[in-house]
Structure 1
């Protein structure tokens, strides 16, 4: 296997592992982040490491880049800020340990 194929297989495997963990923990988020439908999410959540590895070594990219749609009248930086998870400001009263 060439270096390009090895790099692509490694990237595919990491992506599939991330998508599978997301599918197992939060299917709705998986649909939004990875652009998958309910049937594919269920199949992905049930995949074994061996099956993920087989898919990753297919010599084809499994990553699907979704276009970013920014509503008119909203700047890209504002839109990106809206996509970030909400993390309340920590105060002295509820600071992390």
Structure 2
């Protein structure tokens, strides 16, 4: 339950992860020691991770992804045969 603090990881992990800078070995060591050093902290982070995971749903993600792909496909179909939008037409 460790992650770098580089985006987008904090957005996904929320409070459910212990973060460190991937460029600072001392931060990595401290985060590892904290997670491995005590069960209480592990349970705390684990509970937060479980709550964060409830924000994500595979079915909803799959439907949203498919809808976006289809919208992009429909948009592409509306372009001229050249593939350029009418405002981008070459002289």
Structure ranking higher in helix proportion: 2
TM-score (norm 1): 0.37
Structure showing greater relative contact order (alpha-carbon pairs closer than 8 Å, 6 or more residues apart)? 1
TM-score (norm 2): 0.38
Name which one, 1 or 2, has greater alpha-carbon Rg: 2
